[in-house]
Structure formats: C-alpha cells, structure tokens
Structure 1
Amino acid sequence: MDVQTLLKEVEELYPKMVEIRRYLHQNPELSFKEERTAKFIADYLTDLDIEVQTKVGENGVVGLLRGKKEGKTIAIRADFDALPIQDEKDVPYKSTVKDVMHACGHDGHTATLLAAATVLAKHRDELAGNVVFLHQHAEEQFPGGAKSMIEAGCLDGVDIVIGSHLQSTLPAGVVYYREGYTMASADMFNITISGKGGHGASPHETVDPLVIGSQLVTNLQQIVSRNVDPIQSAVITVGSFHSGEAPNVIPDTAVITGSVRSYDPEIRDLLENRIKQLTESTCAANGATCEIKYDRGYASVYNHPTETKYIKDIATEVLGEENVKEIEPKMGSEDFGYFIQEKPGTFFFTGARLSDSERVYPHHHPRFDFDEEAMISTAKVFVAAVAKLND
C-alpha cells in the first residue's frame, strides 16, 4: 500500500470528517443509550462493504475489513457516547439534546475512525491482514463498554490494538505517546459509620460518628504517604462527608465517599486493603461499626513497549518529528486499559487545542470544543499503522 496516497486521501476526507463529527455533536446520546449513534456507525460501515456486527457487548459496533493478503490483524478503537452536560457553546453545531453533549471528543474519535475505514476499504485489494474497527459504547459510565465487548469476542483473532484520544488543551495536531503506565485505574469507596446519636450537651452518652469520620479522613491520607513506595504513584481522594443536620444534635451516622487511583495492580490491591483495615480499626477503636462498599472501576492503561515504539515511529514519519512528543502519565482513567490487558497495544493522544484561546476549555466542560483539523493527524497515524504493519 502506498502510504502517501493514503495520507492524501485522508486529507481529502477532512470535510466528511467534519460533517460526521458535527452531526454526532448535534445528536449526542448518553452511555448505554446510544442506539441511533450505533445505527449510524453500522450503516456507514455497511455502505463501505465492511462486515458489521451490532449490539456487541450491548451497544458496541465492530467492523471487519479483510485484506486480500495474509498478515496480522490490527484493531483500532473509538468511543462514541456523550455526557450528561448542557452544551453552552454558541456554534452552529451545538447539541440539540437538552442536558446531553459530546464534552470529551468522542464524536471526533468516531468521525476519525470512520474516515480511516473509508480510506482503507478503498484499498482492500492491497491490504495485508485484517482491520477490526472497534466502535465502543459507554466509555464515560462504569462499568463501561470495553469489558463487555471483549467478553463478546471483539478481540478474537486480533494481534495488536490501538486507540487515541483528542486533547483540547494540547497543541493541535501533535501526537503524544508514552510507554508503560499512562493512565490510572479508578476505584470508588462508600463508607457508612454507625454510632449512637444524642444531645450535643451529653456527648459522653453517644458514639459520635462525625468525630470518628473526621479521624478516618485524616487516617486515610496517611496510606499513600506511609504505605506506598515514594517511587510509585497513587491518590486517595475523599470527595464527600455527610453527617448530621442540626448544630446541637450528635447524629447516628456519617457517610464518606471517595476515589482511589493508581497504576500498578499490586499498589491497587494494597490501597483497597489498607482503606478497609483503617476504616474498621478506626471505627472499632471508638465503639462504632462500619459498612464499606468498595467498587473497582477501570483498569490502568499500560502501553506495551513494542507497539508504542511502532506508533511513535509511524507518527514521526507521517507528521514530522516536531509533531511527536512524549507525554507525562495521567491519573485520569480510560477503559481502553481492558483492551491492552488482553492484547498488546498502545493508546496515544492527539492535541486539539483551538487557536482562539478564549474558546479553550478542558474536557467535560459545558463549552468544550476542539480543533477539528486534529482529526486529520489521528486518521493519518491510523491508516499508516495499518499499511505498514505487515511490511
């Protein structure tokens, strides 16, 4: 396959990418409710004469493009769910759905992968190996769509899996890579402390869950500083603490919720165990009981060395060395991590910051938007990665 021809065709498809992205932006659907979006994707792939599976793991769509020659199979993933946020942008393609918008770039991810599929389908007779187009539902809402799609067999026969995420705060068109842990696992806890309420004038007759909870919040902060190797990374955040309603009444219960983030699976286990131990011991020492609900969220994203170098080299070749940079690891989470637990692969970022600084907002913001030309960079890396995989 002639890579330069593919890259030129990607550039020519830019108006189509914008059209698709803006259609999806105007018609967003929440996680696990993406029926119209899934149909749009399936119909588009079918029109390209690509084999299509729908309702994969619920609302996922998987396209299979078979090459005429033998070779490895590469899977490329894009997510397509939106968020429960009211779109506050003043643009022609503003969301038409109340309190729902694409505030994380998933509309752009979908448009990019469909454009890559368009170019590659046109050259199927020259293609060695196969391409699996993973259009994933429900990235934004736990338990996510990746795990159920994998359980449904979307990675069967796949040799390598790649994906990318647009970043609205990084320079447009620049590809960012990282080998090893790149994004964190994300877990949640909910702790209910049960004491004995009473009058504020008689604290000795009570078991005060508010005071016990306050001790616990402080104790939890010592886990990372005193139990985790300083070379490792971990975060425990207490996000809410609710107890009592009146100034002169000691309540019966206190509820504490928070999040836990880490990279290494052993550190993840350590954090969960220490949170449970500290909670139980702190409550027991003060005469209270507790109920702990601990939910494991998405796995960390670990980029495999060989595949990461491959994408780095591809991006350097098609975009230029000045447009490829290494990125620091992030404590945010992504369920793409499940895909590369199963198959070797890598997840890279594409900068998409708007030139007008007044319009630059972070992900999940009501005025989120991105430079649509960044989709060209991602699509070029995708098609070149496919073209060169079996050289």
Structure 2
Amino acid sequence: DAIESGVLDGVGRIIGVHCDPKVDAGRIGLRHGPITSACDRLEVSLDGAGGHTARPHLTTDLVTAAARVVTDVPSLVARRVDARSGLAVTWGRVESGHACNVIPQHAELSGTVRCLDLEAWRQAPDLVHAAIDEIANLYRAKSEINYIRGVPPVVNDPAVTELLHDAMTSRRGSHSVEDTEQSLGGEDFSWYLEHVPGAMARLGVRTPGERTTRDLHRGDFDADESAITVGVELFTAAALLDAIR
C-alpha cells in the first residue's frame, strides 16, 4: 500500500480535510484528539434447514434467526463494553428467501462496527463473534462470520491542529474556525497518523444561509464548490506557516 511504498519517508507532518455538510463553506471544524472513530466491516451468513411456513418447528426458522441477529447483536455488544466507548453495530443489508410460504435455508447480513476508542476496537471482533454465535445456536443455525478490519480513529496531534487553526485564521479570520465533535465515521487517513504526526479538519461545504443539511452518502448530497478554494488556501497557508516555525 501507500505507506509500505515509502510515501511517508521524510515527511515531518501530514494534514488532511474531509468535507462536512454541517459546516458552512468558508469555515472549517477542528478538534484536538480523536475526530473520527474506528470502523470495520461485517459480513454474516446463516444456514439451516428450510421448509414450509406451516411447519416452522421442523426448520431452522432462518428469517427469525436473522431478524434476531439484526436486533439483538447491537445491544448485546454495546452492553459488554464501557458505554462511553460508543461501540455500535449497524446493519446495511439483509437478504433471505424468495417466497412468502417458504422458510429459506440461507440468509446474508452485512454492516459496520464503529467505536470511539482503541480499546473497544481491539475487543470488538471477539464480542461480535460471540454475540452472533449465541443467537445462531438458539435457532440451530450455522453461522459464518467475516469480520474485516477497517481503520482506527483519526487522532489529531495537538501541535498540528494548532497549525491548521492558525493557518485558517490567518487567511479567513477568527470566525472561520469552529469546534467539531468526534464523528462515528471512519477514515483511512488514520493509518498515516500511526507513522507521522498530523491532523484532519472538517471542510465546510454547505452554502451559507442554506437551511437544509444534505448529509454524506445521501443521493441528494450537494457541495458548495467554493469550498475547494478554501481547502487550497488552508493547505498552502499551513505549509508556509510550518516552514517558518
């Protein structure tokens, strides 16, 4: 990958931005410490005896088993770590069956596992596996779990965060920087910060005065393209300021 190829060799600091539709164009959001969360992918297959919906007692009742995985795994996992870790399992896809009167033999689920801190991230795979297996066993279903490691949290270095703050205010004034919260979103920029001090800012892309916030990953997402200029200014000012510090 990029890091193994040596792109960070000789790099003293690294900065990045991610667009934020909750912040007006012309402004950035900053935060010391963690600004994003750890994020992993989860793929689950459930298999068992199918049959007629008139006789579910003779089957694995796989749709019900899948439904219990969807509803129970998030709460089971969340109760097994400190609530402040923000460990969250969220499903994005559930597929099973083809007919209203047939209990299927196979179900598939996929989603994400997100958490605010590294300790919960380290525990997450074992906790998720255990919770899914417990539910599958209740329904005599066979479970196959593919837990795909994603990214750790982006943790902003204090000195580089201050550099971004000073660079932005030197170009756009003190009103151009606002505090931002830690997001449950994941970002692979975090891997760079395992090797080099750095920081990420949230680049505002909402048109000033716009009342509707069109969130990321929505079909109607739109960005105020004047934010591109703001991002260029931020990077340039940060590089010039860093050179004289």
CA distance in 2, matches of 1:321, 1:332: 27
Q: Distance in 1 between matches of 2:80 and 2:111?
A: 18
Cα contact 2:163–2:241 (8 A) shared by 1: no
Worse-superposed segment, 184-193 or 380-389: 380-389
What does the per-residue CA deviation read over 1:69-92, in whole Å, with 9 as the maximum and x for residues that have no partner? xxxxxxxxxxxxxxxxxxxxxxxx
- What secondary structure, in the 3-state scheme, does the structure 1 residue paired with 2:25 have? coil
Q: State the 1:360 CA deviation.
A: 6.8
Q: Partners of 1:358 and 1:307 in 2: how far apart?
A: 32
After superposition, the C-alpha distances for 1:336-370 in whole angstroms (9 at most, x for unaligned) are: 11111211100012213224749974444555443
Equivalent position of 1:124 in the other structure: none
TM-score by length of 2: 0.89
Q: Distance in 1 between matches of 2:28 and 2:39?
A: 25
Deviation, 1:276, is 0.5
The residue aligned with 1:209 is 62
Partner of 2:203: 350
CA distance in 1, matches of 2:219, 2:61: 41
Is the CA contact (8 Å cut-off) linking 2:77 and 2:127 kept in structure 1? no
Give the paired residue count.
244
Deviations 1:286-328 (A, max 9, x none): 3221111111223321111221122223322332111111111
Decide whether the 8 Å contact of 1:223 with 1:271 is kept in 2.
no
Q: Cα gap change, 1:200/1:305 in structure 2, threshold over 3 Å: closer, same or farther?
A: same
Aligned equivalents of 2:23 and 2:192: distance in 1? 25
1:376 paired with 2:229, answer: yes
Q: CA–CA distance in 2 between the matches of 1:165 and 1:218?
A: 32
Cross-structure match for 2:138 = 285
2:173 partner letter? G
Distance 1:213 1:364 in 2: 26
Task: Tell me how far apart the structure 1 counterparts of residues 58 and 221 of structure 2 sit (CA, whole Å).
Answer: 53
Residue in 2 aligned with 1:61?
Answer: none
Q: Is the 8 A contact 1:354 1:360 kept in 2?
A: no
Runs of 4+ in 1 over 6 A off after TM superposition: none
Q: In structure 1, what is the Cα distance between the partners aligned to 2:213 and 2:51?
A: 51
Question: Shift in Å at residue 154 of structure 1?
Answer: 0.4
Q: 1:305 aligns with which of 154, 158, 161?
A: 158
Code of the aligned partner of 1:294: Y
Q: How does 1:159-174 map to 2 (within 5 A)?
A: 159-174=12-27
Alpha-carbon distance in 1 for matches of 2:213, 2:194: 34
Is 1:195 aligned with 2:48? yes
- Note if contact 1:316-1:323 (Cα within 8 Å) is conserved in structure 2: yes
Structure number with the bigger relative contact order (C-alpha 8 A, sep ≥ 6) is 2
- The alpha-carbon deviation at position 266 of structure 1 amounts to 1.9
Secondary structure, in 3 states, of the residue corresponding to 1:167?
Answer: strand
**Which structure: greater helix fraction?**
1
Are 1:386 and 2:244 matched, yes or no?
A: no
**Deviation at residue 224 of structure 1 after TM alignment:** 4.6
**Alignment pair present for 1:220 and 2:220:** no
State the AA in 2 paired with 1:176.
Answer: G
What is the identity percentage for the equivalent residue pairs of Structure 1 and Structure 2?
A: 32
Per the TM alignment, residue 254 of structure 1 is displaced from its structure 2 partner at its CA by 1.9
Counterpart residue identity of residue 115, structure 2: S
Unmatched runs of 5 consecutive residues or more in structure 2: none
Provide the residue aligned with 1:135 in structure 2: none
Alpha-carbon spacing, 1:243–1:323, altered in 2? closer, same or farther (3 Å): same
What displacement does 1:194 show? 1.2
Whether 1:323 aligns to 2:176 is yes
For residue 102 of structure 2, the aligned residue among 245, 249, 257 is 249
Structure 1 residues 203-231: Cα deviation after superposition (integer angstroms, max 9, x where no partner): 23222222222222232121354123122
What one-letter code is carried by the residue in structure 1 that aligns with 2:88? V
Letter in 2 for 1:270: Q
- TM-score when scaled to structure 1? 0.57
Q: Which is higher, the Rg of structure 1 or of structure 2?
A: 1
Alignment of 1:73-152 (within 5 A): 148-152=1-5
Q: What is the correspondence of 1:267-278 to structure 2 with a 5 Å cutoff?
A: 267-278=120-131
What is the rounded CA distance, in whole Å, between the counterparts of 1:217 and 1:365 in structure 2? Answer: 23
Distance in 1 (CA, whole Å) between partners of 2:210 and 2:169 is 27
Return the alpha-carbon distance in structure 2 between the equivalents of residues 360 and 278 of structure 1: 36
